[in-house]
Amino acid sequence: MMGKSAVVQQWIAGPLLCGALGVSACTTARPPVTTVTRTEVTTVRQASTSDASPYAPVELQLAREELNSARLALDAREYERARRLAEQAMADARVAEVRAETESTRYTARDLRLSSEALRDEAVRASVAYLPLYRPVELRLARETLDSAKLALDVREYERARRLAEQAMADARLAEVRAETESTQRAARDLQLSSEAVRAEAERLAALY
């Protein structure tokens, strides 16, 4: 009888002891379900709202860079280069759209493709309006020679700067004669005047130093 009484007492004492320690003591042993759940929800939200998919096609980044370069070329009136860059951006954006793994990435690629197409069309219109069908090679040579003359002037190589400026003047004159459009003639004339100014500055500085 004593053994059974002891067992009954232990059976009753267990729940009473738990109650005496308080509900908080019993709940501390429960696993952190709330923390894990919030972490998982945050991860899912970040993955669903991110602009890039878990695997963002490399062509997406290439399309962005090429489109930015095309815009810079268009601003600098390098219309042919802008057109080529825009067409490359269109091609990369098209591939990125096909390879996209999420709807958001697909939308981004489509927007890049449409923006590249619009810039390509703008570059084509500008080239027809402002660029000649045939640009004399002397025009490019005059620009390069004039740039070299300016560099020589900056480092105080005045005699070299003078010779380069005279060569740029000669190329610019020939480009003006061979120009097929008014815009090319103006560009050649401007180069000629700039070359004359650099030559005069080189001669003035050479006389002083």
Q: What pTM, to 2 d.p., does this model score? A: 0.41
Q: Tokens 């009954």 — which residue?
A: 8
Tell whether domain 137-208 is in CATH 1.20.1630.
no
Q: Identify the pLDDT of residue 54.
A: 54
Q: Identify the pLDDT of residue 181.
A: 81
Q: Identify the pLDDT of residue 128.
A: 65
Angle of helix 137-154 versus helix 158-178 axis, rounded to 10 = 160
- Give ranges for CATH 1.20.58 in the chain: 58-130, 137-208
Angle of helix 182-208 versus helix 158-178 axis, rounded to 10 = 160
Q: Identify the pLDDT of residue 67.
A: 94
CB 96, CB 60: distance < 8 Å: yes
Q: Identify the pLDDT of residue 145.
A: 92
Q: Identify the pLDDT of residue 129.
A: 65
Q: What string of pLDDT tens digits covers the 209 residues of the chain?
A: 444 444 445 544 455 444 444 444 444 444 444 444 444 434 434 444 444 445 668 999 999 999 999 999 988 888 888 988 999 999 999 999 999 999 999 999 999 999 999 999 998 888 766 654 456 788 888 999 999 999 988 888 999 999 999 999 999 998 888 888 888 888 899 999 999 999 999 999 888 88
CA 45 – CA 105 distance, rounded (Å): 16
Q: What is the CATH number of domain 58-130?
A: 1.20.58
